[in-house]
Chains A and B, each alone.
Chain A
Amino acid sequence: MSSESTTMTALAEVRNVSKWFGPVMALNGVSLEIGSGITGLVGPNGAGKTTLLRLLTGQIKPSLGGIDVCGRDAWSPRAKDHIGLCPFGDATWDELSGRQLVRVTAGLRGFTGAEARRRAEAVLETVGMVDRANRPVRTYSKGMRQRIKLGQALIHDPDMLVLDEPLNGVDPVGCEELNDLFRTLAAQGKAVLVSSHILHEMDQLADRILFVCRGKLLASGPLEEIRDMLDDHPLKVRISCESPRWIGPQLLTLESVKSVSIETPRDLLLEVQNPSRFYAEFCEFAAGNDAQVQRFKATDTSTEAVFDYLMERAVRPE
């Protein structure tokens, strides 16, 4: 199911990794490579994203398989030289100021004195927190916390940044600012791995996508390739219009429409096979037939629905 057309230098290599927590299989035979640029790790809640990130950052060991980061086993301290983690959640040493927190992190990475101060100021500048760095972290907003956590992750100038749901709870303006920051870091040649359970968050951000669901890597590759795969994704569309009994049979003549049912006197429910083609055909139909459509809504475009579809494809016999 995985498709990978781009060639890249892998900074991290995951080889047939499985991970169990007691009887629960969190990851099942996952193999992938992560190179420079932004990689989106997408999957619904409980898909195994955080487990994969914890394996990559050497917090846990795989039950089977192996993980290398810059040629070293991810569990080893040497591999951690190359990785900066921005963990999920807001937990940090809240009593410290942002500046102190970043300096403490510099100390944990082995930088002391003037070098620690220089690095701290540099990352505060990078994440845009210089003017707010003397405030205690407990007074920070969600977006400011994400920035300071990013500063901690960047303090040792790692080759790879691992960001666990960094946009979770951040307002749209903050999201856009953080996304710009991720793009800047990727442009500097770093590998940025961003996890999210929201597919559209990755639309404008990620160069490549890794789809994970129920512990399996369902698809990987550039977003365009994933989109091509999703073209077969069946979709349900609800249409409200003045004369559904007249429009319904007409819509059945469109090649992309599989079935039509009248839900209420004003609502039609369509099952369509190829969403992209349907949208094109429907626009043409509506313009040519004066359909007087009042409302048009796809009902199952959620990430979970997409993942269910990909999962179905993964287990469907050829």
Chain B
Amino acid sequence: MLVLLGLAVLITYLWSLPKPWHPDPRTLAELAREIVLPLYMGFLLPVICLGYASAAIADERTGETLVYLLTTNIPRPLVYLSKYAAALILTLGMALGGLGSLCLVPGKIGLEALGVFWPVTACATAAYVGLFLLFSAWVRRATFLSLAYALMIETLTGNIPGFVKRITVSFYAKSWLYESGEMLELAAKGVALSLFDPVSAATAQWVLGLASAGFIVLGMWIFSRKEYD
């Protein structure tokens, strides 16, 4: 994970250097459009989340240590909730730390972007962790399922025109960002924005919140009923 993050920081650094075809200093909107949205929100954030969340229960299963948790007197839903809290804290630290390092590489312009991006990142992280932890409670090889989901659903479906992309977490995160980032002209290109067809930031916040809660409740239900081998 740290290697991926280091690579992203290096890419951002190289991007921010003045070039013959782009001698002017980078703007805030460019940082957001060219680095943070595609590289961080589109790839790094889901990978960070799946790295921690999908392993939370699946690793205990493959390591055969889950038995120690299942035979304590702690109710299973509470065990699941504790796992969620632990995975969320770890992932938030990594996700916000990663966002901070990417934004700060180009200098002062990144601070403003960080202010806009961090609440969206935090909420999207909560939803992703809920989803990937649910996979972890459901199947033994949760990392593969999460990876397939991240690549097939979030990356591919999330970027095609139409209504289908509304099943992805990233759609709502981006919708929220576009509205919050109006002053940054994140989605200033009218054609692109109409193709994306975002929902309002308020709707996106509701959906992300409800999705997180829904994933947690469903995960608790699966974990409290499932017989693990």
Contacts and interface: CB of A to CB of B under 8 A. Distances in A.
Most buried by B among A60, A78, A91: A91
A119 interface: no
A85 B73 contact: no
Contact of A93 (B65, B67, B70, B75): B65
B70 A59 contact: yes
Contact of B71 (A57, A61, A92, A93): A57
Interface string B122-148: 000000000000000000000000000
Interface in B69-93: 69-75
Contacts of B112: none
B13 interface: no
Contacts of B228: 59
B74 A85 contact: no
Interface string A57-92: 111110000000000000001101101010101011
A127 B217 CA distance: 41
A297 B70 CA distance: 47
Interface string A105-129: 1001110000000000000000000
A156 B227 CA distance: 24
A152 interface: yes
B71 to A, nearest CB: 5
Contacts of A59: 67, 70-71, 227-228
Nearest to A84: B71
A267 B67 CA distance: 52
Q: Is the interface of A mostly helix, strand, loop or mixed?
A: loop
B68 interface: yes
Contact of B73 (A81, A87, A92): A81
B72 to A, nearest CB: 5
Interface in B35-66: 63-65
A78 B73 CA distance: 6
B157 to A, nearest CB: 33
Contact of A87 (B63, B67, B74, B75): B67
Interface string A33-74: 000000000000000000000000111110000000000000
A78 B75 CA distance: 9
B70 A109 contact: no
Most buried by A among B67, B70, B75: B67
B63 A85 contact: no
Contacts of A152: 68
B64 A91 contact: yes
Interface residues of A, number: 22
B144 to A, nearest CB: 22
Contacts of A78: 73
Given A60-B227, A61-B227, A85 B65 contact: no
Contacts, number: 43
Contacts of A58: 70-71
Interface string B199-229: 0000000000000000000000000000110
A46 to B, nearest CB: 15
Contacts of A91: 63-65
B74 to A, nearest CB: 7
A91 B66 CA distance: 10
A158 B72 CA distance: 11
Contacts of B65: 91-93
B190 to A, nearest CB: 55
B70 to A, nearest CB: 5
Nearest to A90: B64
B74 A108 contact: yes
B67 A109 contact: no
Contacts of B67: 59, 85, 87
A74 to B, nearest CB: 10
Contacts of A92: 65, 68
A110 B68 contact: no
A156 B73 CA distance: 10
A39 B71 CA distance: 20
B64 A80 contact: no
Given A60-B227, A92-B65, A110 B73 contact: yes
Given A92-B65, A108-B69, 20 more contacts: A58-B70, A58-B71, A59-B67, A59-B228, A60-B227, A77-B72, A77-B74, A77-B75, A83-B71, A85-B67, A85-B71, A87-B64, A87-B68, A89-B64, A91-B63, A91-B64, A92-B68, A108-B74, A109-B72, A152-B68
28 contacts: A58-B70, A59-B67, A59-B70, A59-B227, A59-B228, A60-B227, A61-B227, A77-B75, A80-B71, A80-B72, A85-B67, A87-B67, A87-B68, A89-B64, A91-B63, A91-B65, A92-B65, A92-B68, A93-B65, A105-B68, A108-B68, A108-B69, A108-B72, A108-B74, A109-B72, A109-B73, A110-B73, A152-B68
- Give the top 10 A-B pairs by smallest Cβ distance, nearest first: A91-B64, A60-B227, A80-B73, A77-B73, A108-B72, A85-B71, A81-B73, A77-B75, A87-B67, A57-B71
